[in-house]
A and B are shown apart, each in its own frame.
Chain A
Amino acid sequence: MELAMLLQWPRRDKHLGAHEYPEFVKIVEVGPRDGLQNEKEIVPTEVKVQLIDRLSDTGLSVIEATSFVSSKWVPQMADHTEVLQGIRKSPNVRYPVLTPNMHGFQNALAAGATEVAVFGSASETFSRKNINCSIDESMLRFEEVLNAAKDQQIPVRGYVSCALGCPHEGPIDPSKVTEVAKRLYEMGCYEVSLGDTVGVGTPGSMAAMLRSVTREVPCRALAVHCHDTYGQALANILTALQMGVCVVDSAVAGLGGCPYAQGSSGNVSTEDVLYMLHGMGIQTGVDLSKMIAVGDFICHSLNRKTNSRVAQARGSQL
Chain B
Amino acid sequence: IIKYFGSIPRRVKIVEVGPRDGLQNEKTIVPAETKIRLIDMLSDSGLSVIEATSFVSPKWVPQMADQMEVMKGIRRKPGVSYPVLTPNLKGFQAAVEAGASEVAIFGAASELFSKKNINCSVEESLQRFEQVMVAAKAAGVPVRGYVSCVLGCPYEGKVAPAKVAKVAKRLYSMGCYEISLGDTIGVGTPGGMSEMLEAVSKVVPVGALAVHCHDTYGQALANILVALQMGVSVVDSSVGGLGGCPYAQGASGNVATEDVVYMLHGLGIQTGVDLPKLMDAGAFICHSLNRRTSSKVSQATHCKL
In the bound complex, what is the Cα–Cα distance between A230 and B251 (angstroms)? 19
Q: Is the CB of A207 within 8 A of B5?
A: yes
Q: Is the CB of A203 within 8 A of B263?
A: yes
A-B contact pairs, 7 of them (CB 8 A): A17-B197, A203-B267, A235-B221, A261-B300, A265-B296, A272-B217, A313-B186
Q: Is the CB of A238 within 8 A of B225?
A: yes
In the bound complex, what is the Cα–Cα distance between A204 and B225 (angstroms)? 11
A199-B300, A234-B221, A260-B305 known; A276 vs B189 contact (CB < 8 Å): yes
Q: Is the CB of A232 within 8 A of B248?
A: no
Q: Is the CB of B219 within 8 A of A16?
A: no
Residues of B within 8 A of A234 (CB): 218-219, 221-222
Residues of A within 8 A of B259 (CB): 230-232
Residues of B within 8 A of A275 (CB): 189, 217-219
In the bound complex, what is the Cα–Cα distance between A214 and B189 (angstroms)? 26
Q: Is the CB of A316 within 8 A of B305?
A: no
In the bound complex, what is the Cα–Cα distance between A237 and B219 (angstroms)? 11
Residue from B224, B226, B266, B303 having most chain A Cβ neighbours under 10 A: B266
User: A265 touches which one: B195, B226, B262, B299 (CB < 8 A)?
Assistant: B299
Interface residues of A in 214-265 (CB under 8 A from B): 228-232, 234-235, 237-239, 242-243, 258, 260-265
Least distance between B231 CB and chain A CB atoms (Å): 10
Interface flags, B214-234, vs A, CB<8A=1, else 0: 011111011011100110000
Cβ of A91 within 8 Å of any chain B Cβ, yes or no, is no
A230-B262, A232-B262, A316-B250 known; A17 vs B222 contact (CB < 8 Å): no
Residues of B within 8 A of A279 (CB): 188-192, 219
In the bound complex, what is the Cα–Cα distance between A263 and B299 (angstroms)? 8
In the bound complex, what is the Cα–Cα distance between A317 and B154 (angstroms)? 10
Q: Is the CB of A231 within 8 A of B190?
A: no
Query: Looking across the interface, which residue of chain A has its beta carbon closest to that of B215?
Result: A309
Interface flags, A11-22, vs B, CB<8A=1, else 0: 000001111000
Cβ of B4 within 8 Å of any chain A Cβ, yes or no, is yes
Q: Is the CB of B296 within 8 A of A264?
A: yes
Q: Is the CB of B217 within 8 A of A238?
A: no
Query: Looking across the interface, which residue of chain A has its beta carbon closest to that of B193?
Result: A17
Residues of A within 8 A of B154 (CB): 318
Least distance between B244 CB and chain A CB atoms (Å): 10
Cβ of B252 within 8 Å of any chain A Cβ, yes or no, is yes
A17-B194, A309-B216 known; A204 vs B188 contact (CB < 8 Å): no
User: B230 touches which one: A18, A229, A232, A310 (CB < 8 A)?
Assistant: A18
Q: Is the CB of B5 within 8 A of A276?
A: no
Residues of A within 8 A of B186 (CB): 313
Cβ of B295 within 8 Å of any chain A Cβ, yes or no, is yes
Cβ of B198 within 8 Å of any chain A Cβ, yes or no, is yes
In the bound complex, what is the Cα–Cα distance between A279 and B183 (angstroms)? 14
Residues of A within 8 A of B188 (CB): 279
Cβ of A211 within 8 Å of any chain B Cβ, yes or no, is yes
Cβ of A201 within 8 Å of any chain B Cβ, yes or no, is yes
Residues of B within 8 A of A262 (CB): 303, 305
In the bound complex, what is the Cα–Cα distance between A260 and B299 (angstroms)? 12
Interface residues of A in 1-39 (CB under 8 A from B): 16-19
User: B226 touches which one: A201, A230, A238, A243 (CB < 8 A)?
Assistant: A238
Residues of B within 8 A of A230 (CB): 259, 262, 296-297, 300
Cβ of A167 within 8 Å of any chain B Cβ, yes or no, is yes
Q: Is the CB of A16 within 8 A of B194?
A: yes
A276-B189, A279-B191 known; A232 vs B263 contact (CB < 8 Å): yes
User: A269 touches which one: B218, B251, B266 (CB < 8 A)?
Assistant: B218
Residues of A within 8 A of B268 (CB): 204
Residue from B194, B197, B296 having most chain A Cβ neighbours under 10 A: B296
A17-B194, A203-B267, A232-B262 known; A238 vs B296 contact (CB < 8 Å): no
Cβ of A106 within 8 Å of any chain B Cβ, yes or no, is no
Residues of A within 8 A of B247 (CB): 318
Q: Is the CB of A313 within 8 A of B4?
A: no
Q: Is the CB of B191 within 8 A of A316?
A: no
Q: Is the CB of B266 within 8 A of A280?
A: no
Cβ of A312 within 8 Å of any chain B Cβ, yes or no, is yes
Q: Is the CB of B216 within 8 A of A276?
A: no
In the bound complex, what is the Cα–Cα distance between A280 and B195 (angstroms)? 11
Query: Looking across the interface, which residue of chain A has its beta carbon closest to that of B263?
Result: A202
Residues of A within 8 A of B189 (CB): 275-276, 278-280
Q: Is the CB of B5 within 8 A of A313?
A: no
Q: Is the CB of A276 within 8 A of B251?
A: no
Residues of B within 8 A of A201 (CB): 266
Interface residues of B in 190-218 (CB under 8 A from A): 190-192, 194-195, 197-198, 215-218
Residues of B within 8 A of A313 (CB): 186, 216-217, 245, 248, 251-252
